[in-house]
Amino acid sequence: MNLVKIFPTCVGVEQNNVMSDRLYPYARKYLDNLNKSEYKEWGYKTTYGEINADYIPNELQFFSDYICDAGQRFMIANGFVPKALKPSIFFSEMVDGDLHGKHCHTDSFLSGVFYLKVPVGSADIKLFTPDPYKKLSRLDIQDFTNECSWETCNFTPAEGALLIWRSYIDHEVLLNKSKDGRITAVFNLSWKHDD
């Protein structure tokens, strides 16, 4: 039987090692300026909440421009009219034993991650189907290579890889097993409204 795939869940993927090499020193600087009491409730190093659309440091404007452009290209690739976007950005560093449970970002339109350092043992990110009915009509899977049956999808990180998806998609970072820091730039993109 032929299948017509409708209502797909799309994730944008691109590789940009030049950008990751340029951004890494800034991520390192911001992460090194944190002390243990500033790790928030996450339990790992993160600058969450410090860099948002109301305050993008000049030194990070190049990355803000890059992810807003990536967001617009993602919208076009999905058949939407691109809109102006405003970012919130944070850096994260995970070491052995760190993880981040299942969550989504309901206060934005697009979410993404950009991998800056990916040592051996770095955790995958797992994305979950946004289709709530797949869980209700549980079927035994015969062919695990057929994406029509997937309820989750893991992406193995690579330095310089950017992933972008719709913010309503639940995702989690699995248990990290790297001795050295798995360092990412994480971002959310919202609509930029004229004042």
Domain boundaries, the chain: 11-191
Residue 36 has pLDDT above 70, yes or no: no
How confident is the model over 126-149, as a mean pLDDT? 80
How confident is the model over 166-194, as a mean pLDDT? 93
| pLDDT-based confidence at residue 132 (cuts at 50, 70, 90) | confident
Residue 75 has pLDDT above 90, yes or no: yes
Nearest 5 degrees, angle CA 32-CA 35-CA 39?
Answer: 100
Q: Which of 61-65, 75-79, 110-114, 131-135 is predicted least confidently?
A: 131-135
Q: What is the pTM of this model?
A: 0.92
Q: What are phi and psi of 53, to 5 degrees?
A: -60, -25
Residue 53 has pLDDT above 80, yes or no: no
Second-level CATH architecture of 11-191: Sandwich (2.60)
pLDDT at 131: 83
Write out pLDDT tens, residues 151-162: 899 999 999 999
